[in-house]
Amino acid sequence: MSITATLTVRRGEGGQMTTTSSYEVPYTPGQSVLDGLRYVRAHLDPTVAIRHSCLSANTCKECMIQVDGKVDYACTARLEPREMLLEPLGNKAHLRDLVTEVAPPDERLAHALAARAKAEG
Amino acid sequence: MEKGARVSQDLVHFETDVLVIGSGAAGMAAALSAGGAGASVIIADRSLIGRSGATIMAQMTVAVALGSQTPDASEFHLADTLKAGRDLCEPSLSSLVCEEGPQDILKLDEWRVGWARNEDGSIRQAHAPGHDRPRCVYVDFLSTGPAVAKTLRGRVLREKGVTRIGDLYITDLTVTDGVVTGAVGFSMADGRAITIAAGAVVLATGGLTRLYGRNSASANMAGDGFALALRAGAELIDMEFVQFFPIGHLAPRLVGMDPIMWDPFRYKLGGKLLNAEFREFVNDYGNEEEGRYNVTRDRATFAILSEVKAGRGSPAGGAYLSFQHIPEADLRAAFGPVIDRLAANGIDLTQMPIEVAPIAHYHMGGVRVNRAMETTVPGLYAAGEVNGGSNGANRLSGNAITEALVFGRHAGESAARFARGTGRTAGAPQAALDLVTATTGVETENYAGDIEELQKVMADLVGPFRTEAGLTEALARIAAIKARLGALPPGVPGLYDMARLDWFDLRTMLEVAEMVTRSALARKESRGAHQRDDFPLMDPAYVLHHRVRRAGDAIVLDRVPVEGSTLVEVA
Ligand SMILES: Cc1cc2nc3c(=O)[nH]c(=O)nc-3n(C[C@H](O)[C@H](O)[C@H](O)COP(=O)(O)OP(=O)(O)OC[C@H]3O[C@@H](n4cnc5c(N)ncnc54)[C@H](O)[C@@H]3O)c2cc1C
Ligand code: FES
């Protein structure tokens, strides 16, 4: 039998994390947690949200989550052949599943709207 | 009621002189020049501003005829660019990059980007393949792109007239009486639909390499700008020319590093490409590489894949790259902290070769523009990798960042000028609004899986080596995936909904894949990055651009002459 990893993902939106989902994914040494999550999305459940841009260059810094309670980048944390608990960051506004609001405040839609309202007096 | 539906369905509307879509080097340069010309600017990005495209990932070098260490002039840079482009460059665009590159590179230096220096204080220039002399500036260690992105972002932040909006995914352009008058999109963060009325729009959305299974792309390089331009009625050229980076990292799995990182190792230190028999092979394919690494990307790709085809590939399906002959002290001196990052991945270059293979890296083709970065639709400008024409059939290494800076600056200036003379047209096409506000039931189709399938089709059948049979099959398979794409995105507008995002990405990727494949099928020759097994030679009758446009719902393809050539149709 081939070796697998089990990813247990906290699910929900807007801070209401009501459930967890567990997914069994194939494991190859050296893979990242993000590799595992991308496998989940393409093969098991596309509704799982994990924010990422660069995939493996570790330049965008968007994929920060908690892996077994520790803050880490999903793209550099190693996948391990066991159960791993994945949760969103605890100190940022929660959007969906593993995604939190990581954009700088002045680059968000809300900021642009507020700035416009102010300019219009 | 579905939970996501509690998010406001209100339509958010903005007005601006210039809308810049994309915030890589090209988009930020455009925002700076448009803002500098007094225009109000919105710069929108589907992800984080300045951090989500290719620019920040570029680790290597930027080509520019500074002559800071070896005498140089733009004519020499242009000669190398045209030679790499295999007769398909538009010389007026390529020359703009070569002539004005120094100005933008020195401006970045003034803004303290940190170009590496020689001991005498002059800007250091490395000798990259395809260049006739040392011409490529960089920031140590492998930090060129991050430094450029950070510097530009810092300047954009200071530009008062520029509003930055991240997580704003643009889905369609608004066209009113044949003029581009804005765009439609939605906020990734909360799902709200957004319309923007703009005096002019600059497309700076970067490339399309996410279409391919093995790539150096970020998730945002699905080719959005090519599809946006097509749907708005603009012309695109040279869509068959996808550059494969010959020595992308293949094995062992390496995380936290850019897959194209081995190139600078080769410039600085050499490094041997070996086949399964541990024999050097690049020169078996008509190249003359002697210690110096000077073979262009298309030729190196050809050599590696030919070895794989002949059964002499490395275990993971590429070639070995070995630095075992280089003393550890030299490795450390050249790449300091990078050596530690490799060690964390279990890679010790003094002990083992790594495996490399060609990966999709850059797109030469794209939106057709003139020297003012005007597309063929009034009100629409384009800059950066989304443009076609400046690199012909193959891009010279280091030219992409230079071109993004120069073209971005021109596009911003032109857009600001156009916006000054036009009013604002509110309103957006209903069909586009219907997509971003759609509320549909639960989706059974896995679009993330469909995207993966499309990537496999493109890699297997529309990769560096192509055949008529393969390309024809690819078109059929693209059509089959398209048949599974529902008419509307799944779910309801809500918080960071990636399943919904996948629908929009797949819609784009299918259109772009069709443009690439159709153009590749029509080019019955091998030239630069486009290699046909069934037509292995370069054919002078094909010194022509393939042009794609939309006619109704169909994509039509024809040919247009290359600037300066008298050829109008395949003889
Ligand atoms: C790994 C890697 C290394 C490279 N190294 C080098 C190098 O050393 N030297 C060199 O010259 N070139 C290099 N290149 C090529 C070069 O980086 C790119 O061609 C160049 O940065 C493109 O700049 P750009 O501004 O056109 O696009 P990008 O920097 O890719 O920016 C495009 C932006 O548009 C956004 N966007 C896309 N679609 C939408 C949409 N629908 N709505 C809103 N926003 C959208 C994206 O999120 C992204 O932020 C490299 C490329 C890669 C991938
Ligand atoms: S995906 Fe970009 S840093 Fe992790």
B446: in domain: yes
B207: in domain: no
Q: What is the pLDDT of residue B4?
A: 35
Q: What is the pLDDT of residue B129?
A: 85
B153: in domain: no
On whether the CB atoms of residues B562 and B88 are closer than 8 A, the answer is: yes
B517: in domain: yes
CB contact under 8 A, B165 and A13: no
Please report, as a single letter, which amino acid is at residue A32.
S
Dig out the tokens for B284 from the structure.
């078996």
Q: What is the pLDDT of residue A104?
A: 96
B286: in domain: yes
Q: What is the pLDDT of residue B340?
A: 87
Shortest-distance atom of ligand 1 to CA B63:
11
Please state, in angstroms and rounded to a whole number, the distance separating the CA atoms of residues B548 and B551: 10
CATH of residue B252: 3.90.700.10
CA dihedral B217, B407, B91, B226 (to 10 degrees): 50
B347: in domain: yes
Reduce the DSSP state of residue B306 to 3 states and report it: helix
B contacts of A50 (beta carbons < 8 Å): 498
Which stretches of chain B score pLDDT less than 70? 1-9, 291-293, 571
For residue B492, what are the domain limits? 438-532
Distance B562 CA to ligand 1 centre (A): 26
Q: Which residue of B has its CA nearest to A109?
A: B165
CATH classification (class only), A4-120: alpha beta
Q: What is the pLDDT of residue B9?
A: 58
CB of B28 sitting under 6 A from ligand 1: no
Statement to judge: residues B351 and B447 lie in one domain? no
Shortest-distance atom of ligand 1 to CA B26:
25
B contacts of A74 (beta carbons < 8 Å): none
Active site (annotated) includes residue B297: yes
- Write down the pTM of the prediction: 0.96
B129: in domain: no
Dig out the tokens for A96 from the structure.
């969906």
Residue of A35, A41, A61 with the most ligand 2 atoms within 8 Å of its CB, for mutation: A61
Q: What is the pLDDT of residue B568?
A: 79
Three-class DSSP labels, B49-112: CCCCCCHHHCCCEEECCCCCCCCCCHHHHHHHHHHHCCCCCCHHHHHHHHHHHHHHHHHHHHCC
Beta strand pairing call for A64-67 and A70-73? antiparallel
CATH of residue B472: 1.20.58.100
Please state, in angstroms and rounded to a whole number, the distance separating the CA atoms of residues B49 and B567: 43
B253: in domain: yes
Helix (H) or strand (E) holding B17: strand B12-21
B400 touches chain A (CB under 8 A): no
Among B313, B333, B359, identify where a domain stops: B359
B481 touches chain A (CB under 8 A): no
* B297-332 residue pLDDT tens: 888 898 999 999 999 999 999 999 999 999 999 999
Q: Is the pLDDT of residue A46 over 60?
A: yes
Reduce the DSSP state of residue B182 to 3 states and report it: strand
* Residue B273, beta-bridge partner list: B321
CB of A54 sitting under 6 A from ligand 2: yes
Q: Domain count for chain B, please give it.
A: 2
Distance A54 CA to ligand 2 centre (A): 5
